[in-house]
């Protein structure tokens, strides 16, 4: 498969990866009504009826974007 001409074309982005992937994803999430809290340290996280409690605020769903060690704290 990779031996033929064009079988291993390498595509390199010409823009910053944040502009290519992250920014459009964040914009889409905001259009869907997501409450994004970037760069925020969570002190208290607990399961609650129908979702989660994050620092005392209700949330339907959460995404932890951190290392497993930080998530386990």
Nearest to 61 by CA among 41, 33, 40, 39: 33
Tell me the whole-structure pTM to 2 decimals.
0.65
How far, rounded to the nearest angstrom, does the alpha carbon of residue 41 sit from its chain's CA centroid?
Answer: 15
Tell me: the pLDDT tens digits for 35-59?
898 888 899 999 999 999 999 999 9
- 64 pLDDT tier (thresholds 50, 70, 90): confident
Q: For the chain, give the longest Cα–Cα distance.
A: 58
Structure tokens at 59: 């949330």
| CA pair distance 9, 2, nearest whole angstrom | 9
């Amino acid at each position: 498969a990779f031996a033929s001409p064009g079988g291993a074309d390498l595509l390199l982005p010409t823009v910053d990866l944040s502009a290519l992937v992250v920014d459009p994803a964040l914009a889409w999430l905001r259009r869907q009504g997501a409450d994004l809290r970037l760069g925020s340290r969570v002190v208290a996280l607990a399961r609650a009826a129908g979702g989660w409690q994050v620092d005392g605020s209700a949330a339907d769903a959460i995404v932890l974007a951190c290392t497993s060690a930080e998530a386990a704290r």
